[in-house]
Structure 1
Amino acid sequence: MRNSITIVGGGVAGLTAAIACAERGLAVTLHEAHRRLGGRARSTPGPYVANDGTHVLYSDGEPFRWLAERRLVQPFSRPTPGELARFRFRRDGRIRALPPLALLRMVAHRRLTAPADEPFGEWAGRRFGPEATRAAAGVVGVITYTADPGRLSAAFVWERLLRAAAPGWPAVRYVHGGWSAMVERMAAHARRLGAVIATGERVDALPDGPVIVATGLDSARALLGDESLRWPSGRAALIDLGLRTDRRDPFLVSDLDEGGFVERYSAPDPSLAPPGHALVQLELPARPDEAVPAATARAEALADLALPGWRDRVTWRRDAFANGRTGAVDGPGTTWRDRPAIDRGEGVWLIGDSVAAPGMLAEVALNSARSAARAAAVKLSPSAVRKASTVSD
């Protein structure tokens, strides 16, 4: 069929592409190798509903607006005043109520542009001094899953720092029921638009005809036979904890010493844990060549500081290690435009969180998917292009 397209991969990127293509009148068939959709956006079944990694959405980004217009993220919560009052910082080995003043002065320079061709540590150290630079690296370590953000492009780190430290009410949003609930809504919406979604179907050879590859770069290299599909990513220890509730527990601890964080996800969404219990997720970036047990032990040490008596309150635990699956990080002299291109030629597009699209965290996957859908519509069907003018882009 002239207006048909195949999508390989049923994560957030693939489902976004399926919706965007179907809205443009294309006949969509999506293949997902696993029996469950979602990719890295899956969540555990109850009674503790933990995302496969530490997921949030930022409402100040265009991708959130796109999802919300289609009611794919509703219901969601935002941090309450009470939760924000229990926001803490780890710095100099202690849990404190406030970040260093040097960091606050640094992020006040919101009109300042950082260079892409210089490491953040050198640029920020020269302008703001070592204390602010170390604290900023701690904030961005969480977002990049990187133990040393100072070695990354100054422009890349600065953009993320300003997003995370934007003035006013925090833009973070928590999807009720975990990200699997959002994935289910996305799949249902795509099917209502006519998309065919098949799970448990692994694709080992590139399908004939127009195709959108919505996989990680490792799988894309094999499928497309292109060894150039590589880009740096982060690595981090992840711990999910089900705990008996303690009123002393903070809502969130931002680790300015080592770039990690502790967050009580069940505070904005109590459905993630049984009554009287809390779901807590921890992330700590691993150092270069650091073994998994060592990184996990450092994450536990952060929990020792942040969560009084947590070891005696554990009712459920899951450990994981994210390696090369945490989205792209841009080194000095590179920007998102230098990552693997979305358009691979001959009716093949590549999407995901490590390709040439702007945004932070999952925003890259959504932006690349929508870009590929637009390009596919232009290539496949003039009528699809006309239809695209009637739907939100």
Structure 2
Amino acid sequence: MSSSSSGDLLHGPLEDRHRTHGASFAEFSGWLMPVSYAGTVAEHNATRNTVGLFDVSHLGKALVRGPGAAEFVNACLTNDLRRIGPGKAQYTLCCTENGGVIDDLIAYYVSDDEIFLVPNAANTAAVVAALKEVAPAGLTITDEHRSYAVLAVQGPRAGDVLTALGLPTDMDYMGYADAEYDGVAVRVCRTGYTGEHGFELLPPWDQAAVVFDALADQVKQHDGELAGLGARDTLRTEMGYPLHGHELSLDISPLQARCGWAIGWKKDTFWGRDALVAEKEAGPKRLLRGLKVLGRGVLRPELTVLDGDTAVGVTTSGTFSPTLKVGIALALIDSSAGVEDGARVTVDVRGRAVECEVVKPPFVAVKTR
């Protein structure tokens, strides 16, 4: 994430609202995004303890529609759509034939003939192009990036915020419902990227302000905060959730990132199946692990992890944990190194050896369900 004022950056539908609320901005995946309002730590703690409101409209959206849409998507993406049905959503991956990850995304099962996808911002075009390349006649795949906004309400009081606006909250985790607020259609899904009980709302792009203003007012009434990308990153890192380009990439497979649970191993076909089955049978050569700093120090991505004097891995994400009040990181550790959970390793931070304990994420208790 880097500061930028370039006119080439893409802009979300609520930028004027964020400026009114005093947001600071930075570039992320080609978009100008709100990074913080009250400060990352305050926003992080509000999300853990009360409620936080995030505008993540930069996330991509795509629609696969036509006879057999669900069957087609299921033959392409890793997870098994047959496990769910209409009114449910599913985390899944779009892989290359060699098992690399083009993107991780959420698939909304609207009907057998309609699947709505939410990829990451930078990868939407690649996902759409990959699907279009092999789509049979009769199926249409459209990039809906600017058709919908995405607003995430996360935290213990998230349900109270939605209830106050007459929006549904009684769906199971990864369930969704189509509703309406003040004449605006909005899809409400029990999903999120923080580990907290929460919801993601998708109103139309050009009507998002109506829903955002109402949510912002209720979040404040419930002692919450508007939250930016800074808190989103610290929250997801505490949970060990992967971020594409860090823990998942064309060079980092789902198995290495501990996302094998999002693969339908019993399916006959999906992109990358042969390579991933082979990797599963052989065992991944490296594995994502958590690192918790034992003294002082904040870890960042792309730092060398050492076992004694031997380099055994590299950090993929790193931050200060506002919940634990210590530095934490995610790192890919070589399986051949024999480093197990509970072991001590060091991370080279600009020539200083920072001692860490190897842990299995999440770093904090899961509350999602």
**TM tier relative to shorter chain:** under 0.3
> Which one has a larger percent strand, Structure 1 or Structure 2?
2
Query: Larger relative contact order (C-alpha < 8 A, sep ≥ 6)?
Result: 1
Question: Normalization by structure 2: what TM-score?
Answer: 0.25
